[in-house]
């Protein structure tokens, strides 16, 4: 009987190890497929909804349209709050938020490498196997679409978040929801819908002209 119990314990421990290994492998497969799909895009255009929850400042909801072409062109134009925008035009990052800082726009040079400060998809899908410990969580549905949900834990401290839960579409392998736990404690949830890919986006998509009377604040 004792030998049976010992053997049973070994089987249970082995099963747990196999399950963990299978979960990690499945997560790597899902995220790897998403990374390849993302890298193959010439452009992405989608509606977004964002919820920011922070114990110090409260909960905020916003929505708008996001467009991206390559690593150094990004446009987030908000319809709520109306007029807010974050634009990366290839040379500069423009942050215009009249809802919180009226009368000014911040201009910064585009940093070298992926722009992790604003390009959330690049946070997740640029070389994920090198950057994260992964765990498969579950299947789910987002806006009527079937998704695989995975957890990503950054391996390097320079990433601006401590955990991300990403819902990846089973059909086109693109992210539909990102739940990000930032290192300072807040959480941000971004849900993408009406995703359009590989369209020719007009140059004006990634152009920002400061409104008349708005002060440009250079930050380096």
Number of domains in the chain: 1
Which CATH number fits the domain that encloses residue 176?
Answer: 2.50.20.10
Name the DSSP class of 160. Answer: S
Q: Copy the structure tokens of residue 94.
A: 């423009």
CA dist 179 and 165 (Å) reads: 5
> In 24-120, where do the E strands start and end?
44-54, 58-68, 73-80, 82-89, 92-96, 104-109
Within 10 A of 67 (CB to CB), how many other CB atoms are there? Answer: 20
Mean pLDDT of the 98-106 span:
93
Q: How many CA atoms lie within 13 A of 19 on its CB side?
A: 7
Structure confidence at residue 113 as a pLDDT band (50, 70, 90): low
pTM: 0.82
State pLDDT tens for residues 168-184. 999 999 999 999 998 88
Q: Which domain holds residue 58?
A: 2-218
């Amino acid at each position: 009987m004792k030998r049976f119990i010992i053997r049973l314990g070994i089987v249970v421990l082995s099963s747990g190890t196999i399950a963990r290994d299978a979960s990690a492998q499945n997560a790597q497969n899902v995220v790897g497929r998403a990374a390849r799909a993302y890298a193959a895009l010439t452009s992405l255009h989608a509606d977004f909804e964002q919820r920011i929850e922070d114990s110090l400042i409260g909960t905020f909801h916003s929505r708008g349209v996001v467009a991206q072409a390559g690593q150094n062109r990004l446009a987030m134009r908000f319809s709520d709050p109306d007029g807010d925008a974050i634009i990366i035009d290839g040379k500069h990052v423009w942050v215009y938020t009249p809802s919180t800082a009226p009368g000014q726009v911040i201009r910064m040079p585009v940093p070298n490498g992926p722009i992790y400060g604003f390009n959330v998809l690049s946070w997740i899908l640029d070389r994920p196997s090198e950057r994260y410990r992964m765990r498969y969580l579950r299947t789910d549905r987002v806006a009527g679409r079937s998704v695989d949900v995975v957890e990503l834990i950054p391996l390097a401290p320079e990433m601006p978040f401590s955990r991300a839960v990403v819902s990846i579409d089973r059909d086109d392998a693109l992210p539909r929801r990102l739940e990000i736990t930032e290192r300072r404690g807040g959480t941000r949830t971004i849900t993408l819908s009406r995703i359009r890919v590989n369209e020719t986006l007009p140059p004006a998509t990634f152009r920002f002209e400061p409104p008349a009377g708005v002060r440009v604040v250079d930050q380096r």
